[in-house]
Amino acid sequence: MATPVGFFTDTTLCIGCKACEVACKEWNQLPDNPIQFRDSYDNTGQLDQRNFRHVRFVEQATSNPDKPIAWSMMSDVCKHCANASCLEVCPTDAIIRTEFDTVYIQQDVCNGCRDCIAACPYGVIGFDSQSGTAKKCTFCYDRLQNNKMPACAQACPTQSIKFGNLADLRKMAADRVQALQAQGVTQARIYGDTEYGGLHAFFLLTDKPEAYALPNAESAVLPGRNDVPGYLAVAVTSVLAAIGGLVAFRRRGERA
């Protein structure tokens, strides 16, 4: 197996230029977005089958007179979770973990059941009605196999998206947080060191994860958490229902 790779996306360096979105669309030949005006500079809206990258714009007022607005931009993408909800539920094994430790949907296996969409906690996957399959960031599997870096990271002018060996990136991220903290950016933090066993695409944020539409540590839970309780409830109900059936169906027999 090749060494695990990852993305470290440093939102403090993102200028919202969407070069990553465009590069991804070009490389993966994704369809254009429809002409739809939304309520900010973000007309892409979300990650889906058309958009494997999505630059989120988070605008907040601050009390700093020299920086009255915090306009944070974050290039969102599939997190390639170590414990991936999508991979967990996929019934066809269309979703695999590649030799680069990334999460990949095999288009020729997927049958379009959409269970992965229901499962992904980050709303990453979209259903492509053209191909009838689920689609999301491939981590440029085809490029990695040919020793090329992912298109989005290559296009990013400010290196807000850093691509590389996962372990190196984690180290780099920790250093960056430390540097920012030292400069007084006390809100600087990493998202994705621990969530879902460690995200392969992790982020440097300057606010709570919820502000970037990311579930916080407590909320980042796997779908499988409901497996046992769900079946247990079924079992108990079954027993109670059986008792009900026994009472209802048996009694008349006795009377007879």
Partner 1 sequence: MLTEHFVAAPHWEWYILAYFVAAGLSGGTYVIGTMLRLWGDARDLPASRLAFFISWPLLLVCPILLTLDLGQPTRFWHMLIDSRTAGLAFKSWSPMSVGAWALLIYGIFSTVMFVVALGETRSTPALLSRVSKVAGTLAGRVVMVVGALFALFVSAYTGVLLAVSNQPVWSDTWTLGGLFLASGLSGASALVLLMSRRRPEAAETDEKLLEADRYFIILELVLIALFFVTLGGVLSRVLSGGWLVLWLVVLAGTVVPLLVHWRPAWRQRISRNLGPILVLLGVLALRAVVIFSPQS
Partner 2 sequence: MTNHWRDIKNADLILINGANPAEAHPVGFQWFVQAKLDPQRGPGAGGGAKIIHADPRFTRTSALADIYARIRTGTDVAYFGGLINYVLQNNLHHESYVTNYTNASFLVKKEYGFTDGLFSGYDPKARKYNTASWGYQIDDAASVAYNAAHPPAGGAVATLAKRDLTLQDPQTVFQLMKQHYSRYTPEMVSRITGIPQDQFLRIAKLVGEMGQPNKVMTIVYAVGLTHHTTGGELIRSGAVLQLLLGNMGRPGGGMNAERGHANIQGNTDHAISWEILPGYLQIPAPQRKTIDEYVAAQAPKKLDPQSWNFFGTNYKKFMVSLLKGWYGDAATKDNDFAFNFIPKPGQNSSWMSIYDQSLKGKMQGLILSGMTATSIGPDSNRVMEALANLKWLVVMDALPTTSSEFWRRPGASPASIQTEVFMVPTTHWIEKDGSFTNSGRWAQWKEQVLPPQGQARHDHWILADLFQRVKTLYRQQGGKFPDPIIALTLKYQDPAKPQLDEIAQEINGFDLTTGKRMSSFANLKDDGTTTAGDWIYTGSYPDSGNLMKRTDGIQDVKTNDPTGMGFFPKWAWSWPLNRRVLYNRASADLEGKPWDQTRPGITWNGSKWVGDVPDYPATMKPYTLDPKAWLPFIMTGEGTGRLFSTSMLDGPLPEHYEPVEAPVANPLHPGQSASPVAFLYSGGGSFGAAKDSFGTVADYPYVATSYRLTEHEHYVTQHVPLLVGLQPHPFVEVPEELAKEKGIQTGDRVRVTSKRGKIEVLALVTKRLAASTIDGKKVYTIGIPIHWGFVGVAADQDPSKGANWLANALTPFVGDANAYTPEFKAFLVDLKKI
- Residue of 94, 80, 72, 73 whose CA lies nearest to 21: 73
In the complex, the smallest distance separating the C-beta of residue 25 from partner 2, rounded to whole angstroms, is 6
- Which of 1, 63, 65, 130 binds partner 2 (CB under 8 A)? It is 65
For residue 230, the partner it binds in partner 2, ligand SF4, partner 1, none, with Cβ less than 5 to 8 A by kind, is: partner 1
Confirm or reject binding of residue 58 to ligand SF4 (CB under 6 A).
Answer: no
Each residue 149-168 as x (binds ligand SF4 by CB under 6 A) or -, in order, gives: -xxx--xxxx-xx-------
Q: Give me the numbers of helices (H) and strands (E) for the chain, helices first please.
A: 7, 10
- Which of 6, 49, 50, 53 binds ligand SF4 (CB under 6 A)? It is 53
**DSSP conformation class of 32:** P
Residue whose CB is less far from partner 1, 15 or 109: 109
Rounded Cα gap, residues 111 and 106, in angstroms: 10
Place of tokens 């407590």: 218
- The percent helix, strand, coil of the chain (3-state, each to 5) is 35, 20, 45
Pairing verdict, β 5-10 and 201-205: parallel
- Residue of 99, 100, 94, 101 whose CA lies nearest to 127: 94
Confirm or reject binding of residue 15 to partner 2 (CB under 8 A).
Answer: yes
Confirm or reject binding of residue 17 to partner 2 (CB under 8 A).
Answer: yes
Place of tokens 């933090």: 189
Confirm or reject binding of residue 32 to partner 2 (CB under 8 A).
Answer: yes
**DSSP conformation class of 153:** H
Distance of CA 18 to the CA centre of its chain: 18
Helix (H) or strand (E) holding 239: helix 227-255
Confirm or reject binding of residue 249 to partner 1 (CB under 8 A).
Answer: yes
Each residue 46-65 as x (binds partner 1 by CB under 8 A) or -, in order, gives: xxx-----------------
Confirm or reject binding of residue 236 to partner 1 (CB under 8 A).
Answer: yes
The binding site for ligand SF4 (CB under 6 A) comprises 14-20, 23-24, 27-28, 52-53, 55, 73, 75, 77-81, 84-86, 90, 92, 94-95, 103, 105, 110-116, 120, 122, 124-125, 133-134, 136-140, 150-152, 155-158, 160-161
